[in-house]
Amino acid sequence: MPDNQAGGATPGAEVEVPFRASGFAPTRVPFVAGATFAAVLALWWISTKAGWVSEFALPRPDEVLSSFVEIASNGTLVKHLGASLQRLLIGWTLGALVGCAVGFGVGLSSLARSSALPLVSAIFPIPKIALLPLFILWLGIGEISKVATIAFGVFSPMVIATFGGVDSVDRGLIRMAQSFGVPYWTIVRRIVLPGAMPAILSGTRISASIAIILLTAAEMIGAQYGIGAMVLASGNLMQTDHLIAGVLVLSAMGFAVSQIIGMFERRLLRWR
């Protein structure tokens, strides 16, 4: 500081101040994701080819691929995947819609909060698959019992996510709207719903993965068609190549669902 009249120059050599704020900011390095997958595939292929792992326990990647091509081309996959997607779609939609509605009730009304919330909290920790036998007794072994299990499993996390979202909406915005005389339902539609949307969407993510788990489990317990049934049957027949192909389909299904939700997030939460 040459203009500073108060201080004189301090004797000694100049030492540069080192930069200390590095790290703790991970970013995405291009091509590493692809390389990681390739490495895992290569390791898998080499270990099975060289006989380190018995082919019975883990089939070669190319065998899994050919069995995938086989089930895809002979219509087996379409039949199983179709049955699964239908259950997933109906069950999740049903559970999510009812869950959202109840969540809004709990978030907006004292009566609903006092009555429904304790009930939902009691239902939440039950592993829903334990209820499948009961649903089978009530609703039969057909589609309805499986859809009901999925819907029930989706319901409580959706309620909790939605009402948490409604609770987190800035009260200042609501008071503002009230101070302008905006009607109740307009406030719910224009302020509470969009304000709760981030929480609802993250609830959607959680409940979708719960739905896929329940779907697979329900199909393993009693279904003729469905990816879960296919995986179980392949296991019983010791067709590990089919089994792994089925598991990869489940993985792809989960990935696709999360991509779709991500798309909605980008579209609905553009304002953030």
Partner 1 sequence: MDLIARSITHSYGGMVVLDDVSLTVRSGEIVAILGPSGCGKSTFLRILGGLEKPRGGRVFTQGEPPAKTLNPLTYVFQDFALIPWMSVEQNVMLPLEHHPMADAERRARVASALQRVNLTEFAAVYPRQLSGGMKQRASIARALAVEPAILLMDEPLSALDAQTRDLLMDDLIRLWNETRFTAVYVTHNLAEAVRLGHRVVVLSRRPGRIRDIVEIDLPHDQRAESSPDVIRAREILWSLIREEAITADREISDAG
Encode 86-121: b = buried (16+ Cβ within 10 Å), e = exposed.
Answer: ebbebbbebbbebbbebbbbbbbeeebeeebbeebe
Select 197 or 227, whichever has its Cβ closest to partner 1. Answer: 197
Q: How far apart are CA 71 and CA 147, in angstroms?
A: 25
Q: Which of 164, 194, 222, 235 binds partner 1 (CB under 8 A)?
A: 194
Binding of partner 1 by 267 (CB under 8 A): no
Size of the site for partner 1 (CB under 8 A): 18
Q: Which residue from 150, 151, 154, 160 is spatially nearest to 104, judged by alpha carbons?
A: 160
Do the Cβ atoms of 103 and 166 come closer than 8 Å?
yes
Binding of partner 1 by 172 (CB under 8 A): yes
Q: Which amino acid is at 171?
A: R
Residue 267 beta carbon to partner 1: minimum distance, rounded to whole angstroms: 12
Residue 131 beta carbon to partner 1: minimum distance, rounded to whole angstroms: 38
Select 24 or 271, whichever has its Cβ closest to partner 1. Answer: 271
* Touching partner 1, residues 173-192 (CB under 8 A): 173, 175-183, 186, 190-191
Residue 116: alpha-carbon gap to chain centroid = 25
DSSP 58: S
Residue 168 beta carbon to partner 1: minimum distance, rounded to whole angstroms: 13
Record the tokens describing residue 138, joined without a space: 């009530």
Select 49 or 190, whichever has its Cβ closest to partner 1. Answer: 190
Select 196 or 257, whichever has its Cβ closest to partner 1. Answer: 196
| Binding stretches for partner 1 (CB under 8 A) | 172-173, 175-183, 186, 190-191, 194-195, 271-272
